[in-house]
Amino acid sequence: MILSVKEIIDATSGKLLSGDINSTISGISTDSRTIKEGELFIPLKGENFNGEMFVEDALKIGSASLTESVNNVGRYNKPVIFVDNTKEALHKIAKYYREKFQIPFIAVTGSNGKTTTKDMIYDVLSMKYNVLKTQGNFNNEIGLPLTIFRLNKKHDMAIVEMGMSGFGEIRRLKNIADPNVAVYTNIGVAHIEKLGSRENILKAKSELVENFKEGYTVILNADDDMLVKLTNKKGPQYITYGIDNGDVKAFDIEYKEESVKYKVIIDGYMMDVELNVPGKHNVYNSLAAICIGIKFGVNKEDMRKALAEFQPSAMRLNILDVSGIKVINDAYNANPGSMKAALSVLKEYKDRRKVAVLGNMLELGEYSDLAHEEVGKYVKDENIDVLITVGEFASKIAEGAIKSGMDVENVMICKNNVEAYEKIKKIMRNNDVFLIKGSRGMKMEEIVKFLQESANK
């Protein structure tokens, strides 16, 4: 990445306060602690931080900085550019830089499965192309621009993840990345606290395909009752996938404890797919990747190979052997849809005692009590043997399970992770399988860490 200071000024409508307008920068940083030589520092502001305090520190190593303070006039020898809003300037620079690359851009969004779907798509496309992808969960208004700044001339295409919690966020991300392919996983109730209904969640997610035109492509889950409404829009090509419905359908599905097999027909050719990750939800995630593979001409055998070798990201259904027990570490995040998907994976362990350790699901607003109780009913319906809940909201999971007929002796309510670990230590026995899952704020990976540390003593 090489941009001149003049290009930065033009992109942001900024004003040069000091330094040489003809100098260049070779990267972007929003963190003065990790800035490198040649990079432009963008001092962002938040509730608990103000990057403007670190402009001087950043310029000791970095090559230039933005600022919202006119007090920085002439203070530094290096280029300092005044802008009205540094976050908006970050977006404008990313948009300017993205426009330098005339390559396909794929955006993935949905309530559940975004990261896994993005990673599966990346593995499939990488069999044929040099692909840039969002790292981890860099799927917001800071992470997406930083992803775009990693583009270089070697990339044939890019795949970015787009998350949101309210109206307007997806639109802003779309305006930066300008994708021509949209992939939708599902519409659940994540972030319903802000948006109020699945209809509004669909409306917010639909911002991605606003003004999608002929030649653009929308790939979506045809088994999702909300997403199918998007196919009524004129203009782009639609490719749908699913188990019950869709252009690309999975059949003869065989669920196992730690894997899943199915068949799919592509252009009259029947392909056997085997995933080394479990669960129905991963069938859907992989079908989306197959649709992308079809669109971009990836060889069928290469697609099958990529999916067979796929490995999930950290804390997303990572299956661990810990001192005679199985631990399913799905602690990255949680909402009702992903909770049920994880419980469906746990249920496949037929000959083991199944223990679900479930924490609070956050950002559910007025829907919270009902959502937690529904998960509790699902725990009972899936014949989970023992339930341990963590947190105030999750106690409603326990209530739902007991109301549905689960033996109260097999239900335990804990206030925090330490208490849950103490319960686990008392009840666990050889050959058990434990599912650990909760919202990000619950940090339930601590329980996994406790188990691993105790096993190593």
Point out the annotated binding site for ATP.
110-116
Cα separation of 113 and 285, whole Å?
Answer: 7
As a 3-state breakdown, the chain gives helix, strand, coil percent values, each rounded to 5, of 40, 25, 40
Residue with tokens 């002796």: 409
Q: Which residues are annotated as a binding site?
A: 110-116
Cβ-based burial of 176 (10 A; exposed 0-12, middle 13-18, buried ≥19) = buried
* Contact (CB, 8 A) for 43 and 81: no
Q: What contacts 438, CB < 8 A, 6 or more positions away?
A: 331, 334, 358, 359, 360, 361, 390, 391, 394, 444
Nearest to 320 by CA among 433, 167, 166: 433
Distance of CA 229 to the CA centre of its chain: 23
Q: Whole-angstrom Cα distance, residue 363 to residue 333?
A: 12
Residue with tokens 């993005």: 118
Sign of the C-alpha dihedral, residues 95, 97, 99, 103? Answer: negative
Positive or negative: CA dihedral 6, 7, 10, 16: negative
DSSP states of 123-145: HHHTTTS-EEE--TT--STTHHH
Neighbours of 264 (CB within 10 A): 22
DSSP state of 197: S
